[in-house]
Structure 1
């Protein structure tokens, strides 16, 4: 049985980030994933400016190194298409210059982005990487440590501290940390890859379409290299149950019958299968640590409730998990009380943002208001710039919670 101070379950962006930050501190860790990389991961594939910042925190040269990868596209913003058909374009940086500015975000298939991080892990002697190893049993010992076993019950690892970064379906998060799926705070999603979708944005803006006959869900199109696009839908699980929605049928219906999509997908080809996945949303504060463990990324339900973005929040929580793990080792304290510093650090960084995104998610209950905002912004440059800044400035984004913002908008 392998013995280690720190075991990280899951080598996606959250787990890999935790391992790399620990390596930067000279702290060894064991990183385990049931898959062998490169591997596919069902996702929207968009990498925001927050992801770029987290790459830079791991190593200053990583953003530039990633920008040289063939399997990525630089992205300069988001198009929100309202239920009334108005387009609200929000650049990641207002008045950007593609020649002079570094891209604020990227789009890359998770197979390629996750493997990019794993290639960084492989270069670090401090990280022991086990691929193709599935852990399904977690037995706590009297000293608080965990013995981790595979499906056959064979003990494989004993660890003083466990960082669970093994995704939305984490058995550890459900059975040990007692994080339950709540339909009001959980989103069901589908993803498909298409080739030759017409009229993709020349600056690779990602598209979020809020069709009135699919609310409170949304339909997305994200451009990818080599003429491919990530196409999908997402909807709160509570709404899927209440309305008895068949997401796959609805997605194909919109592509076949919506006038704009019908035109754009006329010569498009579906590549591979349409795949489903779940998104545990960070629209509610949860306990994301306990005696001898921390939950990172999707395992800790940290996905943005409005945009569905999870990669950056996984990397942010992975970074803070590494900080907390270093503090635990220094004083040999792995208690739940000491681990609370991890929860505080993660929510100090993310909660304001998650709370605001929850409010924006709830705006979808008022499609007429969404239409008004988009319509006015499409005609008013100053308002468009304000909204663009709101997406990058949390203090400005607070205005979206205030009724006075909409009253001024409606009556000016």
Structure 2
């Protein structure tokens, strides 16, 4: 495709997180001129649990990334669930559609790796480039971005017929166009910290705590859920999340709550010893269930957290950022092959339509789930009566992780897929 003189790229991608870099990779792999703009410099840290389910692993494989232990990844077999006095290890399901293992890797390494993969495919990455807003044509269509570049914050304009917002939960770019978050959708907040912990650093299960208790408060039950993920480098990632259906949402000192939970963990883990902490406690919001729409409008596509695509069931965001990035790239490749105008717009409208078809019903179910577990009594009953039944919990794992075969599969797959189809799309 020949690049007209009045444009800097075929597509500008704002943000080089997992969603942005995946979008840029797939676009560049198909020969498009892609400009990937990142406000920071790599490597850079992000607040995340650092755990990748088989959904995310599939996306890495699609990008040709080596996911072997020799390449620096720690593989996991599944999820260890702790709650109601029960400790249950659930292996990832054996499916035709997804690999049977998950991974952990710090975002410091992970995001840098994906950005480099996009560059290898042909994308142009410009770091230390802070996008401040859109460039609009006379009809109000996005035709580029304004940015401040370098330490001197030099103002620069970049132009392209299509722009992708992959700027994360802040979503400053869509906000500049008046695309605000929806208050009728789930939202969460999470905090995490790294600890040096030889006892769990190489754990081959992701660990999920359904009940958090504080030793300092005589075993008082804390709101939210927790995780402990081994990183394979002598450290673990420890964190907790609280949903907006909980009375504790935005009314709790989450950092102190994390420390309160650590006080109840086994002494040999060393999580009450500040000298074992690696860095401070950091937090971030979790935008869930399509909490910002429309996902396409006037030349702008929203990918990942920018479009509120975190899974309401489990707080997973990376897989959906990467999946939406791949889908956005497929749609834009087809759209840019058409003449500018109604034909191209028709192709671009496939993006929100397909997102809704893939996730809309499932996210609707997730919204109901969030409201239910926001009630401590419901959560307590579910944990008490559900945890002792491994078959039920295997079903729950498939549901929460969104891991089913879309065609065929077992009885559990058919039930989950049927519920997702029947639920009204969000």
Work out whether the TM-score is over 0.5.
yes
SS of 1:135's equivalent? strand
2:41 maps to 1:36:
yes
Pairing 1:375-390 to 2, within 5 Å after superposition: 375=384, 379-390=388-399
> 1:185 corresponds to which residue?
186
Contact 1:183/1:238 (8 A) holds in 2: no
Counterpart of 1:92 in structure 2 is: 92
CA deviations on 1:44-74 (whole Å, 9 max, x unpaired) are 1111111111123333xx2xx1224553210
Map of 2:205 onto structure 1 = 204
Question: Matches of 1:387 and 1:180 in 2, distance apart?
Answer: 29
Deviates more, 1:269-278 or 1:376-385: 376-385
Secondary structure, in 3 states, of the residue corresponding to 1:225?
coil
Other-structure match for 2:32: 27
* Contact 1:9-1:32 within 8 A present in 2 as well: yes
Is 1:354 aligned to residue 363 of structure 2?
yes
Aligned to 1:363: 372
Deviation at 1:206, TM superposition (A): 2.7
Against the structure 1 CA distance between its residues 357 and 216, is the aligned structure 2 distance closer, same or farther, given a 3 Å change threshold? farther
2:304 aligned residue (273, 297, 302)? 297
Q: 1:223·1:230 contact (CA, 8 Å) conserved in 2? A: yes
Cα–Cα, structure 1 residues 389 and 172, in superposed 2: closer, same or farther, change >3 Å? closer
* 1:271 equivalenced with 2:268 (yes/no): no
Separation in structure 1 between the aligned mates of residue 35 and residue 226 of structure 2, nearest angstrom:
38
Give the alignment's TM-score, normalised by structure 2. 0.81
* Corresponding residue for residue 98 of structure 1: none
Q: Distance in 1 between matches of 2:70 and 2:7?
A: 35
**Unaligned 5+ runs, structure 2:** 1-5, 214-219, 405-412, 421-426
- How many angstroms apart in 2 are the aligned matches of 1:227 and 1:131? 30
Assess if the C-alpha contact under 8 Å between 2:23 and 2:326 holds in 1. Answer: yes
Instruction: Tell me by how many angstroms 1:252 deviates.
Output: 1.0
| Pairwise CA RMSD | 3.1
2:339 pairs with 1:342: no
Query: How much has 1:224 moved relative to structure 2?
Result: 0.8
Distance 1:242 1:70, change over 3 A: closer
Q: Which residue of 1 aligns with 2:146?
A: 149
Q: What do residues 13-58 of structure 1 show as CA deviations (whole Å, max 9, x unaligned)?
A: 1111111111222222111111111211111111111111112333
For residue 79 of structure 1, report the CA deviation from its aligned partner: 2.2
**Distance in 1 between the 2:130 and 2:14 partners?**
9
Cα distance in 1 for partners of 2:292, 2:131 equals 27
Q: Normalising by structure 1, report the TM-score.
A: 0.83
Shift of 1:301: 0.4
How far apart are residue 142 of structure 1 and its match? 2.2
Structure 1 residues without counterparts, runs of 5 or longer: 96-100, 402-412
Confirm or deny: 8 A CA contact 2:179 2:293 kept in the other structure. no
Shift of 1:222: 1.1
Kindly indicate whether residue 121 of structure 2 is the aligned counterpart of residue 115 of structure 1: no
- Greater alpha carbon shift after TM alignment, 244-253 vs 151-160: 151-160
Q: Which SS does the other structure have where 1:174 is aligned? A: helix
How many residues of Structure 1 are paired with residues of Structure 2 in the alignment? 388
For 1:200 and 1:94, how far apart are their aligned partners in 2? Answer: 25
Shift of 1:282: 1.4
Higher relative contact order (CA 8 A, sep 6+): 1
User: Following TM superposition, by how much is the alpha carbon of 1:339 offset from its aligned partner in structure 2, in angstroms?
Assistant: 2.8
Deviation at 1:370, TM superposition (A): 4.6
Q: Say which structure is richer in helix.
A: 1
- Following superposition, the deviation at residue 254 of structure 1 comes to 1.8
1:128 to 124, 127, 132: 124
**Given the alignment of the two structures, is residue 325 of structure 1 paired with residue 332 of structure 2, yes or no?**
yes
Bigger mean CA deviation after superposition, 33-42 or 347-356: 347-356
